[in-house]
Each structure stands twice: as structure tokens, then as C-alpha cells.
Amino acid sequence: MNRKAPLKDEDPEIYEQIQNELKRRREGLELIPSENLTSKAVLEALGSILTDKYSEGFPGRRYYGGNEFIDKIEMLAIKRAMKAFKVPFANVQAYSGSPANQAVAFAVLKPGETLMGPDLPDGGHLTHGWKANFSGIYYKSVPYHCRADGYIDLEEARKLALEHKPKLIWTGFTAYSREFPFEEMAEIADEVGAYLAADIAHIAGLVVAGVHKSPAPYAHIITTTTHKTLRGPRGAIIMATDKGLSKEPELGNKIDKAIIPGLQGGPHNHQTAAIAVALHEAMQPEFREYAQQIVKNCKALAQALMENGLKIVSGGTDNHLMLIDLTPHGKGNGVFAQEALDAAGITVNKNTIPQEPSSPFYPSGIRLGTATVTTQGMKEREMKQIAELMAAVIDETRQYQLPEKKEERTAYIANFKKEIQANPRIMGTRQRVKELCSGFELY
């Protein structure tokens, strides 16, 4: 082993797979809305020597010595988060979005107490109370839903809150294409005396840029991941608002204690530094233009997809993502669309739709967004091309239907994958995708 050797020489197998991933991205369209392309500066911080340092505790209150520069880095990240989101408190140590949401529950709930959140099949997150997640196991979970038109059923949410009196209410979605109704959810939470936590993991970059309403005036707590539209590393931030500290002056301390010693050990200092860099970038004028273009592109893509005969949940989008409802092709057909598009070099993810007729394992929709392709420099003209390419691929999946018998599905899908890889129209589309992507750089 040569500790100073570059990765290419020290571990050529891993190096090869990284290069393969780079090639895949260069030749394909990355449309998963929870992904983006970080800057070289973010990557440089993320791959720095900071990964070596242990720093349990918080700035000025560490269990280890040698943290004077780590303290300055974390304080920069905290100050930038507070400035970017206009809040008085921020914790930047959560390892990722799910641990951040777990820390919120740990801070304000006791085991067995009631929380309310958007149901997973309707676009919510696992940590908002899903039955198989800690949030649905250790707490009493009351899910609310979307209406058939794809919009949040606020009337149902209010009725459930009045009936069950949750102590914590989550707002924020992982698959919701309309503006989040922070004000309306705040009215519901205030009426029953609950904490309102806004999970803005998907729209954080849009909020910082001012192209989506901020939850800061309405929620008590805000959580977000730092990748997705914020275009940073994979990490998270937990924030308390003025309203939150007014409700509970010790809320910030409770959140800090939930992180350590409650749930975590040493923070990932390289991640903290990269978050600080991403926040710095997000507060530049160019980032606002970028966020505005994300939304323009998403609206253009949704419109073009509908013009090509595809059904969009709620009939459009207000943010960076959308859901394609494939029930006109058959229930559970999201898996076929995802695999076929992947074969054509277009990356999306299968996803449930409101009032899903199948299951999360074989959902009837696909989810896609425009953050990554916008980072690459694509605009409305390219969105029209992408819609045409996607429609052509999805059209090739119409003949496939998910078997009713579960025991038949594995073999059926395996055969579908084999056939789709040999489909001449799919392969022709893949070449067109490569040609489109060749005009746009990743870095």
C-alpha cells in the first residue's frame, strides 16, 4: 500500500467504476429530482483533510482537542444557513435528511405521542410517519393525503388534526409538484397547539433564491437536505424559526441535544465545510437566475409531456418536479417506464401517485425534475426535445402489463428488461440522448 498514491494506482477497480459513473452521467439525462451536480468547490471541500478530524460537541464545546479551525468552519456554515433561510437558529451536523427529521421528533416528542404527516404514497417521506419507519413505529402516526386532483386535502388534514391533536405536524413532500401550503398548515397546527415542522428538502434552493414561498414565517422548525435544489453535498440542516423559539425558547438547545448525545456522534467535518460552500454559492445572484430557470424548465417540460399525450399529476408544476401518471397504460406501470427510460439513457424514478391503485413496490407513476439538466445549461428548447424522447420511450412500454399474481412478477419484469434492451426504437432514442448531452458539460 502506498498512502500517497492516487486512487487510479492504489485501487484501479474502484477508480474504474467512478469513471464508468462519470461516463453514464455525461451520456445521459439525469432527471431524478432529488439529485444535482455539485460544483468543483463543493467537491473539493468534501474530499478534504477535514474528513480525518473528530469533533463531538459544538463550536467552543468539543470533547476533543484540536478543533479551533473546525469550530470556525462550522460557525461559518451556521451563520450562512441562518442568513440564507432567515432564521435565528441552525444545526448543520445532521448526517442526512432522515436523521435530521428523526432528531426533530426526538427533540419535541416522547415515545408514543402523536405526529401527523403526509402519507408516503401521496408524496410524503418515510420519516413523516410511515408505518415501517421509526416515525410510524415509535410514535402514533396520523397520515393525511392528497385529493384525486393531486393537491393536498387541507380539509382532511384539519379534520384529522382536530380529532387526534398531534403534538407535531409535518408539512413538505418528496413528490409534490405544487407550492407547499405553509400558511394553511400553520393555521391547522396553531389551532391544535402543535409544532409545525416544514421539510423543505426538495425546494430548499428555490426558497433561498426566492422563487418559492419560505416556511420561516409560518413553521416552528425547518429541516432540509443540502443536495437537491440547494446543489450541495449530501447532508442536512435543522432550523428553528422566530415563531419556534417564541413557542419554546429552549427549542434550539433541544435540537442540539437530540443530535448529540441523543442520536449521533462526531459530525462529518468535510460535509459541514461543503455545506458552507454550497450556502455561499446559493446566496449569489447567479444562483437566483439558476433557480428561476429550474422552474421555467420544469413548467416547459410538463407542458411538452402533456402535449405528447402523457398525464401529469395535478396538470402541471410550480417547482422543480412533476409526476407522470401512467394509469392510462395500466396500474403499476412505473417500473416499466423507469427501466425503459434507463435503457434509453434517461434517468427517472418510479413513484407512487395520489390514490395509488397498485403499491410502492410497483407504483403507477414516475417522478422527474429539472435541477440537474438546468445546472448543465439546458433551457426550454431542450425540455421540448426531452419530452419527445421520453414519450417515444414510454410508448414502447404500453404492451406490458404488471401480472396480477405477485409470484409471476419477477420473471415477467426480467423478461421485459431483456426485450427492452433489444428494442430498436429504445436504442435509437439512446443515441439521440447522447447527441443531446454532448452539447452540455457536467463540469
- Tens digit of each residue's pLDDT (9 = 90 or more) over 257-270: 999 999 999 999 99
Q: Provide the 3-class DSSP secondary structure of residue 409.
A: helix
How confident is residue 122, by pLDDT bands cut at 50, 70 and 90?
A: very high
- Whether 228 is catalytic is yes
Task: Give the pLDDT confidence score for residue 443 in this predicted structure.
Answer: 78
Phi-psi region of 278 (alpha: psi -120 to 50; beta: other; left: phi over 0): alpha
The average pLDDT across 218-223 equals: 98
First-residue to last-residue Cα distance in the chain: 31
pLDDT for 77 beyond 90? yes
Going by C-alpha positions, the residue among 329, 339, 307, 332 that lies closest to residue 404 is 332
- Average pLDDT (152-178) is 97
Mean pLDDT for 231-241 is 98
What's the rounded mean pLDDT across residues 162-167? 98
pLDDT value, residue 1: 80
Q: Which of 56, 242, 395, 419 is catalytic?
A: 56
Does 56 participate in catalysis according to the annotation? yes
- Out of 30, 74, 119, 199, the active site residue is 199
Kindly name the residue from 54, 138, 151, 412 that is annotated as catalytic. 54
Catalytic entry in 234, 247, 350, 430: 234
Catalytic residue among 225, 226, 370, 372: 225
Mean pLDDT, residues 110-118 taken together: 98
234 is catalytic: yes
| Domains of the chain (ranges, CATH numbers) | 45-282 (3.40.640.10), 293-437 (3.90.1150.10)
| 353, three cell numbers | 401517485
Run of H or E including 207: helix 204-209
Specify burial of residue 180 (Cβ count, 10 A radius: 0-12, 13-18, 19+).
Answer: buried
Q: Minimal CA–CA distance to 266: which of 122, 443, 74, 89?
A: 74
pLDDT digits (tens, 9 = 90+) for 302-319: 999 999 999 999 999 999
Q: What is the mean pLDDT of residues 61-80?
A: 98
- Exposure string (b/e) for 135-173, b if CB count within 10 Å is 16 or more? bbebbbbbbbbbeeebbbbeeebbebbeebebbbbbbbb
Confidence at residue 441, expressed as pLDDT on a 0 to 100 scale: 85
225 classed as catalytic: yes
Catalytic residue among 80, 167, 178, 228: 228
Across the range 19-37, mean pLDDT stands at: 97
Q: How confident is the model over 327-373, as pLDDT tens digits?
A: 999 999 999 999 999 999 999 999 999 999 999 999 999 999 999 99
Distance of CA 106 to the CA centre of its chain: 22
Mean of the per-residue pLDDT values of the chain: 97
> Are 265 and 56 spatial neighbours (Cβ–Cβ below 8 Å)?
yes
Model confidence at 22, pLDDT cuts 50, 70, 90, reads: very high
User: Residues 84-94: pLDDT tens digits?
Assistant: 999 999 999 99
54: annotated active-site residue: yes
Report pLDDT for 427. 96
